[in-house]
Amino acid sequence: MNKRIFLASPHMCGKEEEYVKEAFESNWVAPLGHNVNSFEKEICEYTKAKSACALVSGTSAIHLALKNLGVGQGDFVFASTLTFAATVNPIIYQGAIPVFIDSEYESWNMCPIALEKAFEDAKLNNQLPKAVIVVHLYGQSADMEKIKNICDRYNTPIIEDAAESLGTIYKGIQTGTIGEIGIYSFNGNKIITTSGGGMMVSNNTKYTEKALFWATQSRENEKYYEHKELGFNYRMSNIVAGIGRGQLTVLDERISKKKYIYETYKNSFQDIDDIEMMPICSYNEPNYWLSCMTIKENSNISAIDINICLEKENIESRPIWKPMHLQPFFEEYKFFTNKESGSVSEDLFKRGICLPSDTKMTNNDLKRIINTIKKIFK
């Protein structure tokens, strides 16, 4: 059996051990310490966000972002449908009601026209949302200027789910810093990892300060344990933050390698009419987290065929996210699209596949993947 080629797995640079060793030597291994504070500061320096709060996951960051914006029982929250469930599960945690917005083919991200339709319907029914969660899918930015213009007209704050897009630049600005609150994920498959973990960022320090309070069990500033609000155990540990600090030093290198992988696939498949790589919008410089492609509708080969053939060669791939409005748990909620029938997100899910984008891959690994796919079409 050939060696396993992973979709996206942790890629350590060696500097992580220095920060983790420092945590051990100082005995700061709990959710306190120099690494946590420094990781927050270094994320701010990189993204130009004014403040940050390091947390145990991107999911917890979305949860506290929703709390910060006052989302509660019976409120409505608009969200991208083409995403992972972690984007929208916190809406349910807060007792709120999700409303799903379709994608556009241009970016695969939230469609501004569908978003406008959702707002018009909400205004008619007196159900305007407390927040809009915009996802930057697979490392490409949504068209934030168009989306923000719509949200501003309705005085609705934006939470940017930039879990997949750390390092992506939209019109000169880092994703995650355009809306009211942004979140990043450092899960094992992300462009940099802390093994698990997340970060909330905002240019309004009151949000990150409140998140820190909630994330440390809402303990009041008293000599004894005093709690006036519900708290959570969401603070990132000093050990994990040390890994993140080391990873952050090579983020730009990882982005360069991800771009190389995408461009290698694109150049290699340009003669196969049935294959279309995920489009890259001129308004952004993506981090190319995952290289994705779609198979044309009239092709004799399907995305699942490719997934199966790659797996037989011990090569990991996966379908595009199954849209949230198609998930059994969420199918009862409203969904808005710009298509007359079906949806863009459903079409991308049926025809799309995520190709291996691991930054540890060699050129020989890439050739193996490409040759396997080319054989399918021959």
What is the model's pLDDT at position 353?
Answer: 98
Can you read off the two tokens belonging to residue 238? Answer: 């000093």
For every one of its 378 residues, what pLDDT tens digit does the chain have, with 9 covering 90 and above? 799 999 999 999 999 999 999 999 999 988 789 999 999 999 999 999 999 999 999 999 999 999 999 999 999 999 999 999 999 999 999 999 999 999 999 999 999 999 999 999 999 999 999 999 999 999 999 999 999 999 999 999 999 999 999 999 999 999 999 999 999 999 999 999 999 999 999 999 999 999 999 999 999 999 999 999 999 999 999 999 999 999 999 999 999 999 999 999 999 999 999 999 999 999 999 999 999 999 999 999 999 999 999 999 999 999 999 999 999 999 999 999 999 999 999 999 999 999 999 999 999 999 999 999 999 998
What is the model's pLDDT at position 269?
Answer: 98
Alpha helix ranges (H) inside 53-137? 58-68, 89-93, 112-124
Domains of the chain, start order? 16-248 (3.40.640.10), 251-377 (3.90.1150.10)
What is the model's pLDDT at position 30?
Answer: 83
111 and 102 in contact (C-beta within 8 Å)?
yes
87 and 140 in contact (C-beta within 8 Å)?
no
Can you read off the two tokens belonging to residue 213? Answer: 């309070």
Q: Indicate the burial class of 196 (C-beta count within 10 angstroms; 0-12, 13-18, 19 or more).
A: middle
Can you read off the two tokens belonging to residue 60? Answer: 């917890």
What is the model's pLDDT at position 348?
Answer: 98
What is the model's pLDDT at position 56?
Answer: 98
- Give SS3 for 359: coil
Q: Helix crossing, 363-377 with 251-268: angle to 10°? A: 30
What is the model's pLDDT at position 362?
Answer: 98
92 and 62 in contact (C-beta within 8 Å)?
no
Query: Is the pTM here over 0.85, yes or no?
Result: yes
Q: Report CA 288 to chain centroid distance, whole Å.
A: 12
What is the model's pLDDT at position 111?
Answer: 98
Task: Label residue 320 left, alpha or beta by phi (over 0 means left) and psi (-120 to 50 means alpha).
Answer: beta
Q: What is the DSSP string of 179-203?
A: SSEEEEE-BTTSSS--BS-EEEEES
Q: β-strands 181-185, 352-355: how paired?
A: unpaired
- Give SS3 for 139: helix
293 and 264 in contact (C-beta within 8 Å)?
no
What is the model's pLDDT at position 378?
Answer: 87
